[in-house]
Chain A
Amino acid sequence: MYAYIVKRLLLMIPTLLGAAVLVFYLLRAVPGDPCEIRLAGTGLYADPAEIELCQKNLGLDRPLYVQFFEFVGGYFTGDLGDSMWTGRPITYEIGLRFQLSLQVAIMATIVSVLLAIPLGTISAIRQDTWIDYVVRAFSIAGIAIPSFWLGIMIILGLLIITQQWFGTPWMPPIDYVSPFEDPLANLSQLIWPAIATGYRYSAVATRMTRSAMLEVLREDYIRTARAKGLLEKLIINRHALKNAMLPVVTIISIEFAFLIGGLVVTEQVFNLNGLGKLFVDSVGAQDFNLTQQLAMLVVLIFIVTNFVVDLFYAWLDPRIRYA
């Protein structure tokens, strides 16, 4: 087991290094750096000396490989550099927004689990009935509906409903309140983006639950349980659901890593100052330093999540060999 863990940890290094090379060189694939864009991109006359000074200040005048080593070296020294856009340290910018995005991601995962497992189970038990068709249509729609549009529709719905019931339109607050200070205000703000993102991610998990349940329900031990006259409720809860959970847990955990991608658009709709919005802003401002660090953060979350899922999987199912 320990040899397996060490081996998996070592295998992360080439993937991370590859991701660093990809992000770093992709961002610099086109001529023109932030200084030129900022100064000359306005269409006005830009003093070449001024561009040069700007490049010197941001360290862009050095050879690419030197910049690359500095970028990678930052992970060993803990200094991720400064944002080219705000001038503040990147660790500060990320730290400021990490809590909010993490909270929305966790809440969205909870929404997705609460939708996927009951819906997928009932859809499998009532296979090929109207309930099954409704659930399947609901989950396919989840993939097709853009989460940013769903977000706009949720805001619109809230405005109209509160207008009709209370006389004054209400919108979720924009300023972030920590859940430890005012849980209710925090929830009233973040539950909506969590629903908009979570619904989308529940779609795949619902289908996975349904197909896993269908498979398990055909097993011999389910027939045995039925034959000995066990209550159907007990068969589902104790025998079927438990055994069907393995692939579902995997897919939900992997989606957690991809949620960060979904947050990019959702945070924009709800005007949340999180990592997703920071990423979009950094792309818009051509802040290469910040963009590459955020992209690396997403990859790191993805790789670590995968690693944890694999360990968890091996622990849950001893038949999986540590090959």
Chain B
Amino acid sequence: MSTPEIVVATEELAEHKSLLARVWDLCRRQPLGTFGALVVLLMIFLAVFANVLTPYNPEAASWENQLTAPNAQFLMGTDHFGRDILTRIIYGSRTALFVGFAASIVGATLGLVLGVASAYFGGTFDIIVQRVVDVVLAFPLIILALVVVAAFGTAIQYVIIAITIPFIPQCARVVRSNALAIREIPYVDAARAMGFSHARIILRHMVPNVMAPYLIMITAFMGQAILLEASLSFLGLGVQEPIPAWGLMLQGGAEEYAESAPWIPIFPGLAITVAVFGFNLFGDALRDVLDPKLRRE
């Protein structure tokens, strides 16, 4: 329990170092988090430069190359449509990141507003919001996501909605508990005494002080969102063909050809695992750095 002082001390020392040295210090203290950050950066790199990195079209079938085993030309082989697996994995990182970022940021932001408002207003409003949050949290993630898909249909924008909705109450609950403590700090009273509007107090005085749990929730959501998108696509209820998506690559042909062409299911699954692993490690490290109190779940 004596670690907090040490952390503060090293951080004060770090003030005098160059940015690069500080980043290096952080990496040394968080080796797993650094690995996670590298995976995240690699994924962003692949997504941004997908069209430069690979000569193949991710969507066009090429029948003469059907079910080719991994070789020098197709490093991870081709699927039953003759499409290069590596190409589809590289483009698939676009889909995963797009869905992941959109769902995490929208979900966490709506949760942030709801959580802070719930803590700030308190009373009946708080009770109602918390009961609604209780209800939504009683659903396993994928069940609620599937209910949304059942209502809206299957397309990438509906997948994002389906993943966003379960995230809102999760973030709202965490943010609320942080915001409750901030509401008691005198500057909020001071702001109220000066006659500031509720919106101004919430946005200018409370929201900036719950940024740490907010950022932690976003990174924690990223891994979950990627996994959930892959699960929905795997079930045939998420992203639809021919859009390259990792979960989709495991559906259809993957099981059928598992024995004769094992490269079809192996590589997309590895991609999902590494991506989720990376985001989780990065998120854990971020949590340790930003909020040591949250460390013990």
Contact = CB atoms under 8 A, between A and B. Distances in A.
Nearest to A143: B280
Given A268-B235, A283-B237, A286-B150, A153 B142 contact: no
A258 B139 CA distance: 8
B58 interface: no
Contact of B138 (A29, A265, A280, A302): A302
Q: Is the interface of A mostly helix, strand, loop or mixed?
A: helix
Given A15-B135, A146-B231, A155-B258, A298 B140 contact: yes
A94 interface: no
Given A279-B146, A280-B235, A286-B150, A140 B139 contact: no
Contact of B140 (A141, A148, A261, A283): A261
Contacts of A258: 140
A288 interface: yes
Nearest to B271: A149
Contacts of B212: none
B143 A26 contact: no
Given A140-B281, A268-B234, A15 B265 contact: no
B258 A27 contact: no
A28 B268 CA distance: 35
Contacts of B236: 284
B131 interface: yes
Contacts of A149: 250, 265, 268-269, 272-273
Contacts of B149: 283
A51 interface: no
Given A15-B134, A145-B273, A149-B265, A26 B139 contact: no
A265 B273 contact: no
Contacts of B273: 141, 144-146, 149
A295 interface: yes
Interface in B241-279: 247, 250, 254-255, 258-259, 262, 265-266, 268-269, 272-274, 276-277
Contacts of B139: 19, 295, 298-299, 302
A264 interface: yes
Interface residues of A, number: 51
A14 B146 CA distance: 23
A70 to B, nearest CB: 19
Most chain B CB within a 10 A radius of its CB, from A149, A207, A279: A149
Contact of A169 (B135, B231, B259): B259
Contact of A280 (B141, B146, B148, B297): B146
Most chain A CB within a 10 A radius of its CB, from B265, B268, B274: B265
B162 to A, nearest CB: 10
B146 A148 contact: no
A292 B258 CA distance: 34
B140 A152 contact: no
B16 interface: no
Contacts of A261: 140-143
25 contacts: A15-B138, A23-B147, A26-B151, A28-B151, A30-B152, A140-B277, A143-B280, A144-B280, A146-B227, A146-B273, A149-B269, A149-B272, A152-B250, A211-B297, A262-B140, A262-B142, A264-B235, A268-B235, A282-B150, A283-B150, A284-B236, A284-B237, A291-B146, A291-B147, A298-B140
Given A146-B273, A146-B276, 4 more contacts: A169-B259, A265-B142, A284-B236, A302-B140
Interface of B: 131-132, 134-136, 138-144, 146-153, 223, 227, 230-231, 234-237, 247, 250, 254-255, 258-259, 262, 265-266, 268-269, 272-274, 276-277, 280-281, 296-297
